[in-house]
Structure 1
Amino acid sequence: MGFLWRVLLILVAVIQSTRVEGNGPVTLARLPGREITEYRSFRDVTILQFTIPQNVRLASWVFNATEHRMSPSLVTRCRAREVSLFLKHGSYPVINPDGSIFPDNFYTHRVPVYDLEFRSDSVAAGINITCPPPGDWFAVAFLSYTDPNNDQILQQGISPNCVALIEASVDVVTDDHIVEITQGVPTAHDLTLGDVGGDAIYRFWVPSRTWLCELVVTVTNCESNAAESGLGHCPGLLLTASSDSLPDVSSNSSILQTSCRDFMTSAVCKLLFIPLENSWAYVMISNSSLIKGDTQTVVSYTISLSFSSSVRSVIGNSSTSDAETNIVGSVLHEYVSMWSTETRVPVLRHSFSAFFAFNYLRMVPDGDTTASSINITTDTVTVFAYNIHPISDIGGTVSLDLIINMTPELKNLTRSSYNVSVVACVDYNLRTIPTFPNLCLDHLNRTSEAHMQANTSTKSREGRVHIPHPENGMWYVSYKPFCYITMYDNNNSISYQETDCKGLSLVALSYGVESYPCGATNCGVFGRCYNYNSGGLIYSACVCSYGYIGWGCTDDSKVSSFNDILLAVLLLTLSNLIFIPSIYFAVRRRYFTEALVYACTMFFSTFYHACDSGEDTYSFCLFRLSTLQFCDFYSAILALWVTLVAMADLSPLWRSLAHMAGAIAIALGTEYDRTSLWVFVVPFGVGMIILLKQWVWRCRQQHSCYPEKNYYKKFFLPGVLLFIVGVSCYTFLQTRNNYKFVHSAWHAIMALTIVFLLPSRHHKVASSEDSDDSSTSLWKRGRAYMSIRWLKRR
């Protein structure tokens, strides 16, 4: 199947990159098998890292998961399981496959996340991405989430111990026909346009603090194989710009286009766009009109590029021709009209020794970097720019805070005239404009809800946003204060109306930009934060307790109620009291050793479940949980062993030896692996061999059925049936959801089984003649038996 995926990849690459003749898919990376596990929280993911180079037109990821059996079991074949995978550029995907609710003020959807569902059946699956941004890409893979409450609890050794491994590879198709241009240096080019399209791609480096790029294409000549030629018959040109990656004309989410069709009016085609700082930008020139037939036209043009660090300087210098007004006005006019000269606040980063611990503070003229407050103007937008480093910064959570400081001037104005709202837009690789009442506007005229907002009309006057696993690169925070008044209509509904900020020129703010491993709340009250390593990549995640789930352990949708917890504790502990009849009948039948073992089983099982099942709400731990667990498993298996020995009706010598040997061997096995199937099977198997051998030997000695038929009918068969039912429930029917019911039933069934299977004293007395209590008589019988055999041989 992997080969078929390769073939399909080549076909897709040829279709999507017909302009790149001779360029085929190249395998960029191939990752060996990595183990993936069931998802319970983000700590369970397996992270795969890929690095995509510049100028990639198509990237194709291929993933393949297989199952491998790690240890022998009754089931020899591993079944295929569902696998989930999420792929994202710049940082680890922020996901919640368990359906948990993200904590308040979490900013999660910043860049596209690609998901894939497949099975661990060695059948490959893939993701194709056209014109991917260069840099680090991360995939998180895991066995698909299922509700753990519905998971079956199987005894180790019955189900196969299987491990799922995932392999990955990425193939890329690059574009080598890219021309690099420089600011202020016009260059001449020719482009052949025909019915099959035709385009040319240029790229240029955008330096820091660049606000606008102006690209001017001046057509100088058109030559066509048709009868008509000249500028008036030139086909329309389409200019497409994008930052950081090749233009993808099939997607309008991150590109800017302009179409120039009528070259009779002007031979100039102009495109203004806002690029990313410190990155490559791309411009594609292509045919915007369909040329019918076999017509081909060679267009000669010059292309020039200019940058500006001020929006108004570009807009002020732009001409007012119809074509250019359409270009600027349709896309950028509303955006740039809101900006004055950019007010960017200089900041300095402070890094700390812990993982993902750093902050950014404002630099003031005297060099002090401890300032965490600033005065912003009411008529401009104030911008902070923060850089997130690759790998070392992306595994934590960045928290941003905003508080309005109530100065005396602001207090007086809010009491008499209006209230003030500070809207803050937090964006990755974008500079958006805060607008009233709580929106952010980008350069493509798209609006989104603001991430932070603080109002003087509220008591807290603060806003906060958390960014888990931030993408590496530049992050921008834009602040803008607005003055507003509260309006009431006839229905007493509240509305807000923006007004002039008369008498107010500056608003004092306190702000914070800090990174923590798991965020400022550090997983809250019901969780703890830990750092994890996956393939050399460090990331932080919360480990929740008390049934809480989610990124901040704030989702209580799966928390058990107090009544459910109390019911589980009562069932699992009080069900052990059914061992009291077993103890009573064991003492009455003079099985004192067995009675002591049953009493220990009841005691340790009661206190083990009292410590384990209360979820720290109703729990009581007499000893450490590990100690109680060992004693519970050990006493339960030992109870099975002494019951089988009692049923075998051994002589006191052999019975004592069997008790001691079993106690030592069971203790060793329980300490080695108390959850293993063999810790139960070996004592049961050896005990059954001793039991059957002893019963057969006695049948031969007495020449009659042993034990009596009455014991088989009234006690043995009901006891065996109860034992089978109990073991079946314990082995196959237990889930986390019904554990308190099924396991309590297991306690009761095993206690009643002992009552039925333990032999009575009447049976012991009846068989005393065949089982001398002294070791001497046992020795004598052995010698007599050997003598009889010797005489027969003679």
Structure 2
Amino acid sequence: MAGCLELALNCEHKVTKQRPYLHLPKAFTYFPSIHLLHKDCTNSRSLATYAIGDPEERQVDPNQEDDDTLTIYEDLSDTDCAPLYHLVSVKTASSSAKKFVKRTENETDVFPVKSQQPIVMTFDLDPIEDVGGLFIVEVNASTLPNPLVSFCLQKMGPAIKDNVKFHCDKDRLIQSDLSSRKRERWIMPFPVVGTLYLTLQMECFNDSNPTECGEEAEIIVNLSLDQQCIGGCGKNGLCSVRYRAGIQFFYCRCYYGYTGFACTDSSEAWARSYYLVQVLLLTLSNVVFLVATIFAIYRYHFAESVSYFATTVFSTLYHACDSSRACVMDYSTLQFCDFYSSFMSVFLTLIAMAKLNPTLKSTVHMIGAFFCAFAAQYDRFSLWAILVPVLSGLAVMSVSWGHKMYQHKQLYPSKKRWILFIIPGIILALIGLIFTSALETDANYFIMHSIWHICMGLSALFPSPAETHATEEAGLGKGAVGR
């Protein structure tokens, strides 16, 4: 703790009328008696010393220096402040886990303690790698007499008051009596990232009376970070991974109405019959996409039929896994396939309505396939992931229809197709969108989402015109089927 830190501040001639200043990072506020010595750039006046957190200000007259210097030093002895340990992260045997240890040759997790004297540990959590897992604090005080542990984990700085007193807000304070078990473990999901400070204080007791913990008292503090779910989510949940903006989050998918980080809260658990109805609705409602597949084959839209069939299969498997433990493969894989096939089905339907020539159509299909794969992997739950394929498909379709109307000086598609096919398809799609975006809640999710499946599957039946070899070759004659 004791030491001297000097920061040189060189003044430019163009700002010689202003006093140099320095913005201190928040970490420096931990040192309660930092002295700031500054000198005006235009003349060599006496340097003033200010003690941060100290009500008294003392004036000193140090030796004058030739250059303009701002010096920060801390003149407290080791006994005046709580010990501060800088921890580093090291990989463990598990590739997804890391632990934080003291920055020493042995990289140990053993810390000397004194009764009612806090110790401070500081470490960094990476904003990409460390945000979506579990931060675990484990304290082993087996050598101490009737210990009581208190600790506080926060980002703004150590939980220290008046240099050495432990002080933590109630909403951050964690305490545990280790008299009987001597060991305790705390799990914190989705930790905040950045530079964190863990302030820990031990108190020892003898027949309820405070006592010293011992001359060379030590505790073991295991700080670790693991990319997993709490307890594997137990028998009422499934550990799942969600990707958002390139970051993976591990969380529990709870079944049967169980809630909580580890699916242990049964206050809202469902009856098994009610749960069975939910699973059947979410899975069997995908049969409507199978009907769309058959119609697409009948109309010679083979690429679209493959996409509709993939949506039928993957949506059924995904919702079976999402609402029960019937997972034929990894949950995240099924989720990706469900979203990707859905994005592609919407995009391919719009391109089919555009009636492009085969070469341009295949090119647009490939561009859409790559983008939909990227969107489904990067952030499949965001609004733009579905808006971009929809708006792109609508743009291509509008340009194509506008070009055809300009060429033939008449409405395209025909009025009959607008009334019997396109408008009903749009209405069904809007109904499904309203149900899933405006009316859906956690309680009625299985009903609203099943309606969404049915509406989207039926809407794919209407707009797509029939595709035949005659229309590919003859274009837009009056008898063309595409009208």
TM-score, with normalisation over the residues of structure 2? 0.50
Q: Does 1:698 align with 2:404?
A: yes
Task: Report how far residue 714 of structure 1 moved.
Answer: 1.1
Cα distance in structure 2, aligned partners of 1:527 and 1:752: 35
Residue aligned with 2:139, SS: coil
In structure 1, the partner of 2:431 is 725
Give the AA of the match of 1:582.
Answer: A
Residue aligned with 1:721, SS: helix
1:562 to 265, 269, 272: 272
In structure 1, the partner of 2:60 is none
Contact kept in structure 2, 1:610 and 1:620, CA below 8 Å: yes
Gaps of 5+ in 2: 1-24, 33-115, 119-136, 154-172, 188-199, 209-218, 223-229, 238-250, 478-483
Residue aligned with 2:285, SS: helix
Contact kept in structure 2, 1:729 and 1:742, CA below 8 Å: yes
In structure 1, the partner of 2:388 is 682
Q: Does 1:753 align with 2:459?
A: yes
Cα distance in structure 1, aligned partners of 2:289 and 2:262: 44
Residues 766 and 651 (structure 1 numbering): CA distance in 2 closer, same or farther, change over 3 Å? closer
Residue aligned with 1:587, SS: helix
In structure 2, the partner of 1:769 is 474
In structure 1, the partner of 2:309 is 599
Give the AA of the match of 1:770.
Answer: G
Task: Report how far residue 588 of structure 1 moved.
Answer: 1.2
Residue aligned with 1:391, SS: strand
In structure 2, the partner of 1:86 is none
In structure 2, the partner of 1:359 is 142
Cα distance in structure 2, aligned partners of 1:474 and 1:714: 82
Q: Does 1:473 align with 2:203?
A: yes
Contact kept in structure 2, 1:579 and 1:599, CA below 8 Å: yes
Give the AA of the match of 1:697.
Answer: H
Task: Report how far residue 551 of structure 1 moved.
Answer: 10
Deviation per residue, 1:494-532 (Å, 9 max, x gap): xxxxxxxxxxxxxxxxxxxx9999xxxx9796699xxxx
Cα distance in structure 2, aligned partners of 1:756 and 1:386: 75
Task: Report how far residue 673 of structure 1 moved.
Answer: 2.1
2:421 to 708, 712, 715: 715
Task: Report how far residue 665 of structure 1 moved.
Answer: 2.2
In structure 1, the partner of 2:323 is 613
Identity %, equivalent residues: 32
Q: Does 1:388 align with 2:118?
A: no
Residues 607 and 476 (structure 1 numbering): CA distance in 2 closer, same or farther, change over 3 Å? farther
Task: Report how far residue 761 of structure 1 moved.
Answer: 5.0
More strand, by proportion: 1
Cα distance in structure 2, aligned partners of 1:720 and 1:544: 34
Q: Does 1:669 align with 2:372?
A: no
Residue aligned with 1:473, SS: strand
More helix, by proportion: 2
In structure 2, the partner of 1:504 is none
Give the AA of the match of 2:266.
Answer: D
Deviation per residue, 1:305-345 (Å, 9 max, x gap): xxxxxxxxxxxxxxxxxxxxxxxxxxxxxxxxxxxxxxxxx
Give the AA of the match of 2:475.
Answer: D
Residues 681 and 473 (structure 1 numbering): CA distance in 2 closer, same or farther, change over 3 Å? same
Deviation per residue, 1:447-483 (Å, 9 max, x gap): xxxxxxxxxxxxxxxxxxx9999985345668xxxxx
Contact kept in structure 2, 1:398 and 1:516, CA below 8 Å: no
Contact kept in structure 1, 2:141 and 2:178, CA below 8 Å: no
1:630 to 336, 340, 344: 336
Task: Report how far residue 396 of structure 1 moved.
Answer: 7.0
In structure 2, the partner of 1:587 is 297
Residues 715 and 679 (structure 1 numbering): CA distance in 2 closer, same or farther, change over 3 Å? same
In structure 2, the partner of 1:461 is none
Residue aligned with 2:151, SS: coil
Residue aligned with 2:138, SS: coil
Cα distance in structure 2, aligned partners of 1:723 and 1:589: 21
Contact kept in structure 1, 2:401 and 2:413, CA below 8 Å: yes
Cα distance in structure 2, aligned partners of 1:587 and 1:637: 19
Alignment of 1:100-115 (within 5 A): none
Q: What number of residue pairs does the alignment pair up?
A: 291
Cα distance in structure 2, aligned partners of 1:552 and 1:635: 31
Residues 386 and 400 (structure 1 numbering): CA distance in 2 closer, same or farther, change over 3 Å? closer
Alignment of 1:28-67 (within 5 A): none
Q: Does 1:648 align with 2:354?
A: yes
Residues 401 and 551 (structure 1 numbering): CA distance in 2 closer, same or farther, change over 3 Å? farther
Q: Which of these two proteins has the greater Rg computed from alpha carbons? A: 1
Give the AA of the match of 1:633.
Answer: F
Contact kept in structure 1, 2:151 and 2:201, CA below 8 Å: no
In structure 2, the partner of 1:204 is none
Contact kept in structure 1, 2:259 and 2:268, CA below 8 Å: yes
Cα distance in structure 1, aligned partners of 2:207 and 2:424: 75
Contact kept in structure 2, 1:578 and 1:752, CA below 8 Å: yes
Deviation per residue, 1:193-234 (Å, 9 max, x gap): xxxxxxxxxxxxxxxxxxxxxxxxxxxxxxxxxxxxxxxxxx
